[in-house]
Amino acid sequence: MKIKPFATEEFFADYEFSAPYMLSASDCESMTIEALMQCAGVGLDGLGACSLQYTESQGGRVVREAIASTYDAVSADDVIMLNAPQEGIYLAMNALLEPRDRVLVLTPCYDSLVQVAEHIGCEMHRLHLIADHHAGVWVFDMAQLEERLRTLKPRMVIVNFPHNPTGYLPGVDEWEEMQSLVTRHGALLFSDEMYRGLELGGRSMLSSGGEHHSGRVITLGGLSKSHGLPGLRSGWLVIKDQRLREQVLAWKHYTSICAPAPVEYLTSIAVQVQERLFEANRALIEGNAAYVEEGLQDDAMNGFRWIMPLAGSTALLFSPWQDVEAKAHELAREHGVVVLPAKFLGADAGAVRLGLGRAGFKEAWDKFIEVMKS
Ligand SMILES: Cc1ncc(COP(=O)(O)O)c(C=O)c1O
């Protein structure tokens, strides 16, 4: 089976672990297992006592209850523990879509949200977030969604809020409307909520799709982004509809079978202290976002502009460069500065993604401005 290269992951594979100035990571600042346990006020003994046997395919009851308790109206039975958030995308698309199904994806987006369904042979359609540079905001076109639902009759709609890469977050009412429109038109809604908890400037967290009364919203959560624990490879799906859940579990027997026992254990600890992790990461992002605003005033940054993110850890920086991909490779190879070309995510070809959740961001941004000056 021929698949498209995963442009974002291939770009990071080349530079993420060698170039010193990372400007584009989507995860937040990470921590050690020891620091996580300290934050939760527990010792390392529990981890040491963790048996390395197989776990339940759906996930052990303890971890599923811990995850369910972070939502309203979600029970442990609704949760499927994963081996990585990415696995949730793969499982849900393969289990719930057939070749030639029509799928509507909010664009730009993380590569696999469009490509996994494309590999299956689905007919992919895109719904674009629109950059309003005059007002400095991203706009979601609800009328356009309604029209596409009516004319396309898609099997699935895929969204991701808080949004990677734009930092867009719909209003509470808009999100409710989106969920009811999609489910009323008989489509499944796949809601990627990997950046939930990173609502900036005091904005409130949206309800989770997993809490939606229709039970037709499949929700992806995980510890990689808002919690800053990507090395744990911990994620989960929330699926209220039993038949859909069983279809997804049937696929899981062919991928990871079950999550590692230490990951289940550490996940149940991490979700208990998630509010504290979110708070620290929101502060980091807000500080870095203010630093970008300040840096954009520098003469060296003439021709660059951005739209301030409302939520999440990423935002797009629009550049004056003709060939962004060539420039990004040059910056990484010659100056150690990593900026991800946003065209990999289906965004404006002139843009790059900024990742604001890392502690080293300011130093990397300084280096970027220094290179632009020279
Ligand atoms: C929107 C979104 N969903 C899912 C994932 C996958 O997460 P992970 O790499 O931890 O499996 C990512 C990673 O960048 C993402 O940005």
* Domain at 311, CATH number: 3.90.1150.10
For residue 194, the CA-to-ligand 1 centroid distance in Å is 7
Question: Does ligand 1 lie within 6 Å of residue 26's CB atom?
Answer: yes
- Let me know if residue 1 belongs to a domain: no
Is the bond into 108 cis (omega within 30 degrees of 0)? yes
- Considering the domain architecture, whether residues 131 and 262 belong to the same structural domain is answered as yes
Nearest residue (CA) to ligand 1, atom 12: 110
Instruction: Tell me if 38 is assigned to some domain.
Output: no
CA distances from 151 to 47, 102, 179, 190 (A): 53, 11, 18, 19
- Full residue range of the structural domain in which residue 219 is found: 43-273
Ligand 1 centroid to 114 CA: how many Å?
A: 13
Q: Decide whether any atom of ligand 1 lies within 6 Å of the 86 Cβ.
A: yes
Residue 311: inside a domain, yes or no? Answer: yes
**Distance between Cα 49 and ligand 1 center (Å):** 30
Q: What is residue 165's predicted lDDT score, i.e. its pLDDT?
A: 98
72 part of a folded domain: yes
Q: Is 164 in the pocket of ligand 1 (CB under 6 A)?
A: yes
Residues 212 and 113 in one domain: yes
Residue nearest (by alpha carbon) to ligand 1 atom 16:
110
Please give the average per-residue pLDDT across 114-143, as a whole number.
97
Percent of the chain with pLDDT over 90: 98
| Phi and psi, residue 181, nearest 5° | -60, -50
Tell whether 269 and 279 lie within a shared domain: no
Residues 328, 246 share a domain: no
Regarding the beta carbon of 357 and ligand 1, being less than 6 Å apart is answered: no
- Out of 273, 296, 330, a domain closes at 273
Residue 5, both tokens: 């290269």
**Pocket-testing residue among 164, 191, 267, 345, ligand 1, by greatest number of atoms within 8 A of Cβ:** 164
Which atom of ligand 1 lies nearest, measured to the CA of 230? Answer: 10
Whether residues 16 and 50 fall in one domain: no
Query: Looking up tokens 């009323």, which residue turns up?
Result: 184
Are 289 and 259 within one domain?
A: no
Which of 209, 244, 273 is the last residue in one of the domains? 273
| Same domain assignment for residues 95 and 51 | yes
| Domain total of the chain | 2
Within a domain: residue 212?
yes
Does pTM top 0.75 for this prediction?
yes
Please report the pLDDT score of residue 303 as a whole number.
96
Cα of 160 to ligand 1 centre, how many Å?
10
Report which protein residue has its CA nearest ligand 1's atom 6.
Answer: 86
Asked if residue 63 lies in contact with residue 56, where contact means CB atoms within 8 angstroms, the answer is: no
Residue 287 and residue 147 in one domain: no
CA 120–ligand 1 middle distance (angstroms):
19
Segment 238-281, tens digit of pLDDT: 999 999 999 999 999 999 999 999 999 999 999 999 999 999 99
Of 225, 251, 273, which marks where a domain is finished?
273
The answer to whether 129 and 140 are in contact (CB under 8 A) is yes
Average pLDDT on 106-132 reads 97
Residues 219 and 75 placed together within one structural domain of the fold: yes
pLDDT above 90 (res 2): no
Which atom of ligand 1 lies closest to the CA of 225?
Answer: 10
Q: What are 189-202's pLDDT values in tens digits?
A: 999 999 999 999 99
Whole-number average pLDDT of the chain: 97
Write down the pLDDT at residue 1. 86
CB of 110 closer than 6 angstroms to any ligand 1 atom: yes
CB distance 267 to 234 below 8 Å: yes
Does the structure show a pLDDT above 90 at 223?
yes
Q: Are 166 and 294 in a shared domain? A: no
Q: Is 224 in the pocket of ligand 1 (CB under 6 A)?
A: yes
Q: Which atom of ligand 1 is least distant from the CA of 87?
A: 11
pLDDT at 293: 98
Q: What's the CA gap between 29 and 25, in Å, rounded?
A: 10
Task: Pull the structure tokens for residue 73.
Answer: 């109206």
DSSP state of 18: T
160 lines ligand 1 (CB under 6 A): yes
